[in-house]
Amino acid sequence: MEENQLPANNGTDEPAGCINCDSSHVEEGYPTRLCRDCRQSFIKYPIPLSIKLFAIGVGLVVLFALFSFPRNLSLGIHLEKGKKFEQKKQYLSAQHEFATVLKKVPDNQEANAHLMIAAFYNMDFETFSKAQEKLAGKNFDDQELLGRLNVLVESVYDYYPDTALANLIIKSGQQVADVPDTVYLNYLKENPRNIYGLYAYAGRLYNKDIVRCDSVLKLLVEIDVSYIPALRLLTGVQRSQEKWDESIQTCYKILEINKEAGYAYAAMARTYLKEKLNDLGLKMAKRSVETDKSDPYNRATLALAWHFNAQPAKRDAILNELKMQQDSASHYYWQYALDIIQQKEKL
């Protein structure tokens, strides 16, 4: 016999009958020698109730996992994508991902926290406020995230008049847009570094004293280099003074804060168009709409770019879209673009 082969079993010790009852009527074709009656009795052996209940419980858990796992996995993917966009300062994309999560789980703490961050940099303060309300009174394990949120909550105050200024505006009896310069000047004497006060005063100066407006905005930016409304207004001020390079650089400062601030590309486009660099103006106008088509400022800028590049059909298609919109912002930018086209206004 070969050494690497198993020896054949030639023994005769295996019982001839049923191994349970010794019956000679063994069913053939099975490895275990049992008669028919014994085989049936073993098959029908009663399963304890506890085992049945356990099996049912396991089945229910498996079924729940099968239905819930894809949903939870999908939400987790959206949350992680949002956080990656946030890290890259692509806040429009980040906000979209967090909003997708919150449609399914509106009270998710992590998604609401990151939504606040994205909404702040998109200057969507309505969404910021709603997310903040969801988190009020909640405990945070992530102290670094909580610290970031606290900084932003404090920063939001710079986008609204404080109590003292609000009272002065009310006493003037005017709408905010019509408040006399003296109201802001008197307030700024006592509060020379108040960000909202400086910004509101600069806005009043924009159409009257562009040089003084430039000076106030630069002071404001020295106080807070990340105050986007001031940077956005400053691009127009520098454009009006034909400070082309400065205007473009200010746009890039906005994009350093929020890489998906489409209006920064639109502001660049307007500067290039005013400088008569129409090809560059059109390129940036297209990029602004690709980044954020929802902003009527961007679409109006693209209409102007098509106008200055002698493409009236494409220009009019955008203007007609804006005209059909019901919101006041779309109507304002449509009218402004139309006035420039009809030479009633200068870019």
The verdict on residue 293 lying in a domain is yes
Nearest to 235 by CA among 188, 282, 202: 202
Phi/psi for 35 (5° steps) reads -80, 170
Q: Which residue has better confidence, 26 or 57? A: 26
Identify the helix (H) or strand (E) that includes residue 199.
Answer: helix 195-205
Whether 261 has a pLDDT exceeding 70, the answer reads yes
35-39, 192-196, 200-204, 278-282: segment of lowest average pLDDT? 35-39
CATH of residue 325: 1.25.40
Domain count, the chain: 2
Question: What pLDDT is stored for residue 56 in this prediction?
Answer: 58
Residues 183-210 have pLDDT tens digits of 999 999 999 999 999 999 999 999 999 9
Q: Tell me the C-alpha distance between 127 and 79, whole Å.
A: 17
Residues 143-194 have pLDDT tens digits of 999 999 999 999 999 999 999 999 999 998 887 778 899 999 999 999 999 9
Q: What is the mean pLDDT of residues 65-79?
A: 65
Question: What pLDDT is stored for residue 64 in this prediction?
Answer: 46
* Residue 132 three-state SS: helix
Alpha carbon of 325 to those of 299, 300, 322, 330: distances in Å?
12, 12, 5, 6
Nearest to 345 by CA among 267, 240, 247, 246: 240
Query: Taking the mean position of all CA atoms in its chain, how far away is CA 97?
Result: 6
Whether 5 has a pLDDT exceeding 50, the answer reads no
Whether 61 has a pLDDT exceeding 90, the answer reads no
Give percent above pLDDT 70 in the chain.
82
The verdict on residue 189 lying in a domain is no
The verdict on residue 151 lying in a domain is yes
Q: Which residue has better confidence, 12 or 73? A: 73
Give the pLDDT band (50/70/90) at residue 2: very low
CB 18 within 8 A of CB 37: no
Give the pLDDT band (50/70/90) at residue 55: low
- DSSP per residue, 256-294: HH-TT-HHHHHHHHHHHHHTT-HHHHHHHHHHHHHH-TT
Q: Give the tokens for residue 323.
A: 């005209």
Residues 290-315 have pLDDT tens digits of 999 999 999 999 999 999 999 999 99
Q: Tell me the C-alpha distance between 102 and 135, whole Å.
A: 13
Domain interval for residue 79: 75-157
| Residue 213 amino acid letter | C
Q: Give the tokens for residue 103.
A: 């449609």
The verdict on residue 267 lying in a domain is yes
Is the pTM for the entire model greater than 0.85? no
Nearest to 93 by CA among 290, 306, 274: 290
CB 112 within 8 A of CB 103: no
Choose from 12-21, 162-171, 230-239 the range with maximum mean pLDDT.
Answer: 230-239
Identify the helix (H) or strand (E) that includes residue 216.
Answer: helix 210-223
The verdict on residue 125 lying in a domain is yes
27-31, 118-122, 282-286: segment of lowest average pLDDT? 27-31
Domain boundary among 157, 183, 206: 157
The verdict on residue 309 lying in a domain is yes
* Residue 27 three-state SS: coil
Give the pLDDT band (50/70/90) at residue 76: confident
The verdict on residue 10 lying in a domain is no
Q: What is the mean pLDDT of residues 37-45?
A: 60
Domain boundary among 104, 133, 157: 157
Whether 20 has a pLDDT exceeding 80, the answer reads no
Give percent above pLDDT 90 in the chain.
73
Q: Tell me the C-alpha distance between 42 and 51, whole Å.
A: 17
The verdict on residue 301 lying in a domain is yes
Burial (Cβ within 10 Å: 0-12, 13-18, ≥19) of residue 87: exposed
Question: What pLDDT is stored for residue 10 in this prediction?
Answer: 46
CATH of residue 119: 1.25.40.10
Domain boundary among 130, 157, 184: 157
CB 305 within 8 A of CB 274: no
Mean pLDDT for the chain?
87
Q: Tell me the C-alpha distance between 104 and 294, whole Å.
A: 24
Alpha carbon of 77 to those of 82, 247, 306: distances in Å?
9, 39, 39
Whether 127 has a pLDDT exceeding 90, the answer reads yes
Whether 11 has a pLDDT exceeding 50, the answer reads no
